[in-house]
Amino acid sequence: MQRKMYVIACALVSVLSLNGCATQGKSAGLGGLIGATGGAALGGIADPGKKGEYRTRNVVVGATIGGMAGLIAGSTLFDEIKARESKAYANGRGSAPRQVTGAMPSLREAKIESRWIEGRVVGNRYIEGHFEHIITEPTRWDSQ
């Protein structure tokens, strides 16, 4: 029975340690849960005394100490991870190319000439009168 409980506790700790956390409360809570589970398992393995009289006390003490240690460890690890993320973000922003505002020159409009073409007959087609628009000078950067 004791071995079966130990195996279940170890499996629970293994599964819970694979879960990710997004907030400090979740990280501390998960650390506390893992610590309490591990502490309870170790307390159950510890010397139970004559006729198992200290087993319950060992499990409670182990769970309490393990839970407190897990809470502290989970919170500390979360703080460290957030500090690393903030540092990486600041380094990334610092290495980004800088945009200088107001330095881009403006564009000069293209010059277009419009011509009226009279209607005409070409072969067996009639082409109605229309405007042709010719770009005489393309758009260019204005050299301030």
Q: Is 53 found in the same domain as 76?
A: yes
Report the percent of the chain where pLDDT is more than 70: 81
Q: Is 34 found in the same domain as 6?
A: yes
For residue 100, the model assigns a pLDDT of 63
Q: What's the mean pLDDT when you consider all of the chain?
A: 82
For residue 58, the model assigns a pLDDT of 86
- Distance (Å, rounded) from C-alpha 127 to C-alpha 91? 66
Q: Is 16 found in the same domain as 70?
A: yes
- Distance (Å, rounded) from C-alpha 60 to C-alpha 57? 5
Read off the pLDDT of residues 13-43 as tens digits, 9 standing for 90 and up.
555 555 555 677 788 888 888 888 888 888 8
With a cut of 70, say whether residue 62 has pLDDT above it. Answer: yes
Residue 80 domain flag: yes
For residue 101, the model assigns a pLDDT of 64
Q: Is 79 found in the same domain as 137?
A: no
Q: Which residue has the higher pLDDT, 4 or 109?
A: 109
When divided into structural domains, the chain yields a total of 2
Of the candidates 37, 41, 40, 34, the one whose C-alpha atom is nearest the C-alpha of residue 3 is 41
Residue 132 domain flag: yes
Q: Is 61 found in the same domain as 18?
A: yes
Q: Is 58 found in the same domain as 31?
A: yes
Q: What is the 3-state secondary structure (H, E, C) of 63-82?
A: HHHHHHHHHHHHHHHHHHHH
> Pick from 57, 72, 95: which residue ends a domain?
95
Q: Are strands 130-137 and 120-122 parallel, antiparallel or unpaired?
A: unpaired
Residue 76 domain flag: yes
- C-alpha dist (Å) from residue 42 to 48, 63, 141: 11, 9, 76
Structural domain harbouring 122: 107-141
